[in-house]
Amino acid sequence: MGNRQSAAFARDEVFEAIIGSKDTRKRRNLRQMTNANTIIATTAGVLPIHLAIISGNYEAVRDLVSNSRCDVNARCQNRPGLTLAACTSSAKIVKELLKRRDLKVNETSGSSNVTALMAAVFEGPEERTTAERVQVMEVLVNDPRCNCQLKDDDGYSALTFAVQTGQVDLVMTLLQDGRAAKYQLRDLLRECRVAIRVNQEEICGIILQNMSLAHEAHLTHLMQNAAAVATTNNGQDAGQILYLLTVAKTVMRRGPTKLVDSGIHMPPSPRSRAPKVGSVVSLLQDRGKVKRLQTDHGGWTDDMEEVMGRCGIVTSVEPDRDIIVNFLFMESEQRKLQFTLNPDAVELKSKDGFSAVDKNGKLIKVGDTVAIDAGDPITRPRQAAQGRAGRSEQSVQLKYGRVMYFDLSGKAWLTVAGSSVSLAPSTIKLVDSVVCGDGQMVQVGDQVQITPTSSGLESLQTSQFGGWTNRTAKFVGKIVTIAAIGCNCFHKTDRPQCIIQVSDDKALLCWINPNAVKLQLKARLVPVSKSPEEPKSRPFDGSPPVDSNGEVLQIGSVVSFIRNESTVRHLQAGRHWADENIMDLVAKQFPFPVVSIRSDGDVGVDTCAFINDDPELDMAVNPKAITLVSRDNFEALDNEGKVIRKGDTVTLLKDEGEFRLRQIGRGRWIDKLRTFLGRPIVVQYFDREGDIVAVLGELGQLESFNPKATVKTDKVVCHGNVEVAVGGVVRIAVSMAEFQALQTAEFGGWSSSLRGLANHPLTVQKISCKWKITTRSPACVIQVHHDYEYFWINPLAVSVSDGKASGTPEFSDLKLIPCGDLSFEEKLGEGAFGAVYRGRWVATVCAVKHIAVKEIIAGPERDRIVQEAITHSRLVHPHIVQFIGLALERLSMYIVLKCITGFNLEEIVFQHKMSLTEAEKHEIALQVADVIRYLHNDARPKVIHQDIKPSNVMVEKATKQALVTDFGISRMANHSPTNDVNNLTQHFSDSIAGTILYMAPELLNTNSNGLHRTPNFQSDIYALGATLTELYSSRRIFGVIKDMPSLLAKKIHGEPEAIQYVTPTKYQDLLHRSMSLEPSQRPTATELVRSLLG
């Protein structure tokens, strides 16, 4: 009786914490509930998570979701929690649920198997608004786990429900931003038929306009064979199919401006798509609404009132979906009037990615120069926002302008002589040729000669044609090639003219007045080179690209152009040049990183990575035109003997005398360096001599430093003059006003989201400095983690929780990687500890081993995991897979390693994925044996591998070099190979057998207490001998094994059958001794290596 009363009391406490109490302490207790799945009302089967969802209590949902014991997939009346939230709660609660990795997003419910997305479309209370449904659906479809195409038992998808009920906004949510590409064409056509059947032709138009290019190509094929399509299915629905194809044809041929002719009416809302970089938007004219929407999204300023209703171009989309908009893009190329805006505060005005046909049938796109016939009427927009009054329509005589964007009706908006005009594409002409000084028509590719006198060229180079500059003077009298035809559309003049861009033999570009040139050779008459050295594109065979010296390139490598300019131009023939200063990089030998490996064998480089703060470029470069200047995967030791890696933050020695002594022969000394002594820098890369290369004070200023002239920055002083290390726990220690004042640009700047960090423990993830900020006194900044997000903050704004230095000291030797910096591309395999993925750490290609655990990683368990990772990180051997870092989450951890392009010995020996000669096999055997010798003798502390087997030895495809992997990872996952022995006869699998096969026999036996022996050096030698036996013999050690008892019997009592097939035969005795049943008879790793060398 007492137990039932106690349970009832606990149940009532939970109920009150969620529904009836405003006591935050009680709500916080939900985080520590021993049983977060306690049923509130047994008859209804309602759990606390269900009650919190139904009541709309976001705080309770958040606290329960953060409790790992809470089952977020539990059902209430046969409905999963996510489905319940999708049809009854806010988008905020749905988003909170989606934070759980174990959430089953596509779980179905009810007799019809309805998903959460379907429920969001048509279920829920009658008073629920369409806007609320759209918000919930956007949260769901933006989750990569959500499958929009799933259908219920009746064959209805979420899109079908939205179409049938005529909910235009819901249809657009499911199809916009490229989501329509996920559907098959037949499904989209079916939805169009449904729309026509229920008199929703407007929705039919939306579906057709959101189709992908692949859909349109397929649809075009159907239209060309309409008669055949109409007779399919024994003629059923032939009329509807033909009508649908007619409508589709009208949409594709005439565009949205003529949809009304086909009986389809497009939705009036211009916000059918989310704005992206390059989109043109206008700020809403409702001041109150904009001010409200701007809360926590960049805020409101009085200057915004001047641009309400005006159009601007999106120059950036922030990670939190906020957009940066420039409202002067139609008026000036230099001046900017920019605001950070909530995307809900703007209306989309442009038809992004659109191209139109001019009056001559030529294709025109954004950025093209066009001509307007003299006498054509031009409609000017009102200039009220700029304080101008005047007529809305004028007839003016204009000539040349630039296409700035196409509006939603398909009209082209131009800038002509500093004014904005709107015209139908059919009334303008693409400018692809221009009259030069001798009266000849010239076009892109033609060769022309510049006026031979400086005075003559200077007189023609008025401001309308780019003016006279030092660069222009270099072109006097030269024969050059026309690279582009444009116009200075922002120059105010009554007679706007064309301008040509020319390129000399050094690929230097300059804008020139066409009247200053004379035609020399038409493009079509230029002879084609017959040189055998002409660069040709080659099919990519999967091998890594190599530079001009044969050095292998990878993503993250730092390179520079070779010094020969003519060779660079020759090798770059046919490729796009990123900017007109490209040859400056050749002349100055300025470095830049490789950011991608292309399918045609070229590499993508970001030539401006160390020069400016622009978004990352990806310019295609022939690898033979560049040379490697970095030492990839290199590590160095600082002044205190700590390991430094690329991306680490180090501090220059403070003592000038010692610093200059260390720099002798390793870098230069300039007086500017004096102000940076004792200051932090970020290691951008290591040069070929092993020196650190870092940006010093401003972009474009690279300096090299002896690693011994630096000290690794693993601690930083925070509020109260107390040091904190990576892994330490801190709290905000100042007022919000002080916090905001401390958050200057050098420390990441201020945003309203930083307010949410107050009164919460924050874990330090990184210590770095903002190297892209121009400064003479760089300072450290820390990255902290809170509520699944990462923030850069000033360390002087925080204090250590317990008043003393925090963080495990050993963390300074370990690279902790924020989980948000990892991305996953493809699954490479799966083992007992979890899955292995090919992924990226920011831009670096890597292998990511995901290890799932049952409990939150904290306390001693977390320390043990980190210690294992530290052990691996300290292993330095050319044939050990490089350890990159460790990422930790509540229920997961990720081991990040170098990604190897090749195969493991299991795949090579038994699946024949790579051929090896006898010499290559012997070299691999030596390399693997030397790794074990290093682990047993030279590593500090000494390491027992515990799981040596062919599948843990990788062989690089390009070099045939062996690399050993999996160091203690099984143990880190609370899994030891010996733990599999208990039920071997019941659970025989390839993964277990694959480990047991190479395990020393003594590890399979138990002592009087039923415990297995601990792995040791001798057990490693047995596994090594077994692995090398299979390598040399190409046979399984014990032949064909059908079940576990047979395997165990052969291991404990039998002889390894494969040894007799080992070649060369001189190694048979060595491998036999390595696999001796008596551990003391086995050779040491050192002896084994010496025998192989002999």
The candidate with the shortest Cα–Cα distance to 859, out of 880, 890, 881, 834, is 890
Give the 3-state secondary structure of 180-219: HHHCCHHHHHHHHHHHHHCCCHHHHHHHHHCCCHHHHHHH
C-alpha–C-alpha distance, residues 17 and 32, integer Å: 13
Q: What's the one-letter identity of residue 538?
A: R
Sequence-ordered list of residues with C-beta below 8 angstroms from that of 183, at least 6 positions apart, any chain? 148, 149, 159
Greatest extent of the chain over all pairs of C-alpha atoms, in Å: 109
Sequence-ordered list of residues with C-beta below 8 angstroms from that of 1037, at least 6 positions apart, any chain? 997, 998, 1026, 1029, 1030, 1056, 1057, 1058, 1075
Contact in structure between 1016 and 943 (CB atoms under 8 Å):
no
Contact in structure between 954 and 900 (CB atoms under 8 Å):
yes
* Binding-site residue ranges: 854
Torsions phi, psi for 895 (to 5 deg): -90, 120
Sequence-ordered list of residues with C-beta below 8 angstroms from that of 527, at least 6 positions apart, any chain? none
* Binding-site residue ranges for ATP: 854
C-alpha–C-alpha distance, residues 241 and 226, integer Å: 8
Mapped onto helix, strand or coil, the DSSP state of residue 309 is coil
Partner residues linked to 722 by β-bridges: 718
Sequence-ordered list of residues with C-beta below 8 angstroms from that of 859, at least 6 positions apart, any chain? none
C-alpha–C-alpha distance, residues 574 and 600, integer Å: 13
Dihedral of the CA atoms 717, 721, 727, 733 (nearest 10)?
-110
494-531: b (≥16 Cβ within 10 Å) or e: eebbbbbbbbbebbbbbbbbbebbbbeeeeeeeeeeee
C-alpha–C-alpha distance, residues 156 and 828, integer Å: 35
C-alpha–C-alpha distance, residues 318 and 686, integer Å: 31
C-alpha–C-alpha distance, residues 404 and 410, integer Å: 13
The candidate with the shortest Cα–Cα distance to 396, out of 418, 363, 365, is 418
Structure tokens that stand for 952 in this block: 């843990």
Question: From residue 491, how far is each of 430, 470, 500, 509, 674 by CA, in Å?
Answer: 20, 21, 15, 20, 46
Instruction: Determine the length of the chain.
Output: 1094
Contact in structure between 481 and 445 (CB atoms under 8 Å):
yes
Question: From residue 249, how far is each of 224, 245, 255, 333, 873 by CA, in Å?
Answer: 10, 6, 10, 40, 62
For 47-93, the DSSP string reads: -HHHHHHHHT-HHHHHHHHTSTTS-TT-EETTEEHHHHHHHHS-HHH
